[in-house]
Structure 1
Amino acid sequence: MHNRTLINKYQAALPANPHTKKRNPRSTSKANQLNKDAKSLRQRARHMDENTPFVTAILDEFCANVVGPNGIMIEPQPLDKAGNVHTEFARQINEWFELFSLKQNIDGEHSRAETEWLACRTWLRDGEVFARYYMGYHPEIDYPSGTPFGVQPFEPDYVPVNISEPERGVYEGIRRNKLGQIISVLIQRDALGFEFSEVEARFVTHLKFTRRFHQNRGVTLLHSVMDLIADVEDYDQSERISAQIASRFAYFIKRDSSTEVSDAFDRGGDVFLGMGNSFELAPGEDAGVVESNRSESMSSPFRDAQMRLASAGSGVNCSSVTRHYSGTYSAQRQELIDSFARYRILQRKFVTCWTRPQYRQALEMAILSGQLKVPKDVDAESVLNAIYQAPVMPWIDPAKEMTGVEKGTRLGLQSLSHYQRERNFNPVSVRREIKAERQAMNDDAIVSVADPAHNIASKVQHSASSKNQTSQNTNREAKNAEDE
């Protein structure tokens, strides 16, 4: 009867493994359940970021590939009435946005790139990050830029997780309607956490990392690998202690019991160990060294395997984190492709919930304040259009990558502007820079192969055949003249 019961059921669904009798743990979370463990996980992730080099490297690698050193690149794409890009108005928006990005943060201390870097790090480490928008002129607000718009990012500690009022739809400091839409957010005003401001949702951005639907607050990206990283850290600490013990040694002097040693034997004071030092032994004595014979041949492979498992669980490129690059070009490229598939998901989430709404709000305020004037031939519905480009997969072998770009552009698979955006270059700025450079070189009578107009390789390549063809034509004309 017991065997028939096992046949009719999945063994993995049983309370315990029928072979080992080990209990099968199960998740007890329910739909719409408050994330009571988010705060403890957040605090633990912060501790690891502060004290564990491996976690610091993971977060730095995520920020470098999700946001990049210069932030998300934004290329305005306003259209005219015919549906083409209005290049003049796009240039004006670019010039305004470059100046605005220098001091986007309301405190005036961080640029847009620095703010996005810290926001991405907070989002992945703590599980969520908030930002409040300040817009419009107010006597108590001094904007760091000429545009009446500023962003005030803050960590999730300022939104209380201990305030829940189901009768008002408030759960963990966030008020929602019956459809789950955010109405307002409670933001802490004082250091003690007794005064809060309820800010409307349209003035607040909530970027959170979730693994399931209906998660009210975010959870850290490291939630599933924390114990593994802690074990690796303990293992490293044990290895360091063992190495320190093994690097120290002691010497001993063994005496022969049958030999009588006079107490008057003088060794000359203290015995110093060093290069070429020696000391005298009494008759019947022998010197030896106490050292560690511990083998560490399996330490590195085991540690590497655990770190690769932790990197896979968090979704980061292990080679970039550990700075240990091995394998062929194909193996390294495949690892980059696998990791960048995860990076692109985080990039799209960051752009959609953080960069895009801030750019659109700032552009609207710049137009309303008169800093930008929309031309009459611009389609009003396309003023806020833009292309958002996050960091792309780096090149392992530039020669092979450039060959692929050249073939792609020649076959018409992608435009040159597309590949420039992939390298985080603004196509309009690049074209303007190339035009100015070539004009300056022509004015100075400098010939460079970088300019296709000066590239005479094709002429050199066909010079020999052309010369032969010219000589044949000359001989033929001379022969015809003699015949006449």
Structure 2
Amino acid sequence: MASARKRKAAAQAAAQGAGGGVLAVKARYDAAGSGRRMRGWNPPTSGPNRAITGLQKIRDRARDAGRNDWSGESSTQHWTTNLIGIGIVPRLRRIKSKNRKQELNDLWDAWVSQADADGVLNFYGLQTLAVRSWLESGEVFARLRPRQIDAPLAVPLQVQLIEADFVPLLDADYWPGMPAGNTIRQGIERNKYGRRVAYWMYRDHPGDGQLSSAIDASRLLRVPADQVLHMFEPKRPGQLRGVSSLAPILARLRNVADFDDNVLERQKLANLFTVFITRTMPGGVDGDFDPLTNLPVDWGNDGLPLAGLEPGMSQELDPGQDVKFSAPPDAGTAYPDYMRTQHLGTAAGQGLPYELFSGDIKEVSDRTLRVIINEFRRFAEQRQWQIVIPMLCQPIRDAWVDAGVLSGAISVEEANDAKRVEWAPHGWQYIHPVQDVQGKKLEVDAGFRSRSSVIAERGDDPEQVDAERAADKERDEELGLFTAPIQPDPNRSDGDSSGESSPGRRPDSNKAKK
């Protein structure tokens, strides 16, 4: 009796399992299926760091694409230009004394030209080079180089940019010179809590010398993590190293370049032949004959027959001779559309507007272009404020202040305020200068935003702009220049503004008449 109940329960469970299996098949995602369409799609279940196996090969191919393919260079160059422009500038906000604020700004400006440890670029040039290296190679390292206090520098600190190749893809649980309990993953040493404590770097670039591929402890240098900045864009949580932004499109770039080269080569080969002369030779005749004169061929000193065509030549052909002109095939009517489609995919893979990537603005209205550019700028600002500024700019500023405190150029009391700067990226140019300015003015007049925010959005310092306006006004008054005053808001009722609305009259003369 008990065994019968068990068999019945087992049969019911099997029936429910079969029914549940059918329901599961109907309810699950198609992308998780293993049917005819998905049978050949079996990607590996790789972690964020194992997934970047072959990182050096990706890096080499990305650099080659930047050197030899206009598509690779265009994407990197346009992203670098839009992220940095002429530089992302720090602005002090918490220093109350105007004189002291100006002194700190002057100290920073003096250090900007001394920032590069290699002595090639200034600080804003380092920003450009760092971003370009990050986009092309996937990551870049910056090493903070403290100098002697008596060094001829505004602040005893310099920054050295280091390519990703300097940090090998080394994994080790035990390594000479590494503290016990720490581990090395992808060349990054971490403690038992997973915090980065050091980077293992080659002393020289591994691609510049005759170095073997084997990683030798004697060739590596342990650099503490507080001296190194690592800028990259993580795509997955826990990812330790960066991958080139060109990685998703490298195969496409290679295939498109090969196709383009093959089309060009076909056209070159087809145009090697222009005229073909056919003839029927009488039987039993031996030797070579000139196809134009039907006479034996004359041979030159180079061992080649002398036969050719001359401009405007008229030639009578003998019976049995005929002339056929070459008709080489063209590139095909679908060639332009195919190439444009491929470049559209390349631009999309880079997050760039196709029009900006290729320079092709055919059949694009200004309103459509405005929508495209605005969306691209949101992406650019995301990268500025989530990667470039927190990973590169702000840490360098913090180290600069600390070095200034050690040298006595910055006091301990003002150190925190000197670090809390507002970073101002290079402002975007107006898409429509008239409409954009009118729109921002309406926002300010309506109280939706401040005038300072509009000026800062342009990449300018509101305080400096106001100071320049005041200086311009004072200089105009001293020189007796007649300038048109700013037109008042007609909706305001804070007094009579009739005198200010008259162009060509000096404000001080209006006050005198009143």
1:411 alignment partner in structure 2: 446
2:136 alignment partner in structure 1: 125
Secondary structure of the corresponding residue to residue 24 of structure 1: coil
Structure 1 position 309 matched with structure 2 position 325: no
CA displacement at 1:76 relative to structure 2 = 1.3
CA displacement at 1:312 relative to structure 2 = 1.2
1:172 alignment partner in structure 2: 186
| More divergent stretch after superposition (315-324 vs 432-441) | 432-441
1:12 alignment partner in structure 2: 31
Change (3 A) 1:197 1:138: farther
Among 137, 140, 151, the residue aligned to 2:159:
151
Q: Residue by residue, what CA displacement relative to the aligned partner does 1:248-303 show, whole Å, maximum 9, x if unpaired?
A: 54112345789xx9845999x743455xx223122444433112233532212221
Structure 1 position 71 matched with structure 2 position 87: yes
1:353 alignment partner in structure 2: 391
Among 301, 307, 317, the residue aligned to 1:282:
317
Secondary structure of the corresponding residue to residue 391 of structure 2: helix
1:57 alignment partner in structure 2: 74
| More divergent stretch after superposition (226-235 vs 48-57) | 226-235
1:342 alignment partner in structure 2: 379
Secondary structure of the corresponding residue to residue 358 of structure 1: helix
Structure 1 position 48 matched with structure 2 position 68: no
Structure 1 position 202 matched with structure 2 position 226: yes
Percent of residue pairs bearing the same amino acid type:
20
1:465 alignment partner in structure 2: none
1:481 alignment partner in structure 2: none
Q: Residue by residue, what CA displacement relative to the aligned partner does 1:118-143 show, whole Å, maximum 9, x if unpaired?
A: 1101111111111111225279xx56
Secondary structure of the corresponding residue to residue 151 of structure 1: strand
Among 366, 377, 381, the residue aligned to 2:404:
366
1:183 alignment partner in structure 2: 197
Q: Residue by residue, what CA displacement relative to the aligned partner does 1:193-249 show, whole Å, maximum 9, x if unpaired?
A: 633222221111111222101111111112211111212212221232234345554
In 2, Cα distance between the equivalents of 1:450 and 1:301? Answer: 54
In 1, Cα distance between the equivalents of 2:130 and 2:293? Answer: 77
Matches within 5 A, 1:100-139: 100-137=111-148
Question: Which letter maps to 2:421?
Answer: A
Change (3 A) 1:264 1:202: closer
RMSD: 3.3
Length-normalised TM-score, structure 2: 0.77
In 2, Cα distance between the equivalents of 1:48 and 1:262? Answer: 53
Structure 1 position 401 matched with structure 2 position 412: no
Aligned residue pairs, count: 443
Structure 1 position 420 matched with structure 2 position 455: yes
Matches within 5 A, 1:225-374: 225-245=249-269, 247-255=271-279, 263=294, 270-272=307-309, 274=311, 277-284=312-319, 285-294=321-330, 296-326=332-362, 327-348=364-385, 349-373=387-411
In 2, Cα distance between the equivalents of 1:93 and 1:101? Answer: 12
Question: Which letter maps to 1:198?
Answer: R
Are the aligned partners of 2:487 and 2:501 in contact in 1 as well (CA < 8 Å)?
Answer: no
Are the aligned partners of 2:55 and 2:243 in contact in 1 as well (CA < 8 Å)?
Answer: yes
Among 412, 417, 422, the residue aligned to 1:387:
422
Are the aligned partners of 1:124 and 1:221 in contact in 2 as well (CA < 8 Å)?
Answer: yes
Change (3 A) 1:343 1:280: same
In 2, Cα distance between the equivalents of 1:131 and 1:350? Answer: 12
Change (3 A) 1:325 1:227: same
Length-normalised TM-score, structure 1: 0.82
Change (3 A) 1:138 1:406: closer
Question: Which letter maps to 1:341?
Answer: R
| More divergent stretch after superposition (212-221 vs 425-434) | 425-434
CA displacement at 1:160 relative to structure 2 = 1.8
1:93 alignment partner in structure 2: 104
1:215 alignment partner in structure 2: 239
CA displacement at 1:450 relative to structure 2 = 6.7
Runs of 5+ in structure 2 lacking a partner?
1-17, 175-180, 206-210, 283-291, 299-305, 489-496, 505-514
| More divergent stretch after superposition (58-67 vs 444-453) | 444-453
Change (3 A) 1:460 1:385: closer
In 2, Cα distance between the equivalents of 1:129 and 1:455? Answer: 60
In 2, Cα distance between the equivalents of 1:114 and 1:182? Answer: 28
Question: Which letter maps to 1:148?
Answer: P
Give the number of the structure with larger relative contact order, counting CA–CA contacts within 8 Å between residues 6 or more apart.
1
CA displacement at 1:373 relative to structure 2 = 4.9
Are the aligned partners of 1:248 and 1:291 in contact in 2 as well (CA < 8 Å)?
Answer: no
Secondary structure of the corresponding residue to residue 383 of structure 1: helix
Q: Residue by residue, what CA displacement relative to the aligned partner does 1:142-193 show, whole Å, maximum 9, x if unpaired?
A: 56x2211111111011112135226631112211123321111112224646
CA displacement at 1:445 relative to structure 2 = 1.8
Are the aligned partners of 2:182 and 2:192 in contact in 1 as well (CA < 8 Å)?
Answer: no
1:470 alignment partner in structure 2: none
In 2, Cα distance between the equivalents of 1:263 and 1:236? Answer: 42
Secondary structure of the corresponding residue to residue 114 of structure 1: helix
Runs of 5+ in structure 1 lacking a partner?
81-85, 462-484
CA displacement at 1:75 relative to structure 2 = 0.9
Among 29, 39, 46, the residue aligned to 1:29:
46
In 2, Cα distance between the equivalents of 1:347 and 1:395? Answer: 19
Change (3 A) 1:115 1:460: closer
Are the aligned partners of 2:484 and 2:503 in contact in 1 as well (CA < 8 Å)?
Answer: no
Are the aligned partners of 1:441 and 1:447 in contact in 2 as well (CA < 8 Å)?
Answer: yes
In 2, Cα distance between the equivalents of 1:266 and 1:34? Answer: 68
In 1, Cα distance between the equivalents of 2:410 and 2:365? Answer: 52
CA displacement at 1:370 relative to structure 2 = 2.4
CA displacement at 1:47 relative to structure 2 = 1.3
Change (3 A) 1:264 1:257: closer
Change (3 A) 1:389 1:239: farther
Structure 1 position 429 matched with structure 2 position 464: yes
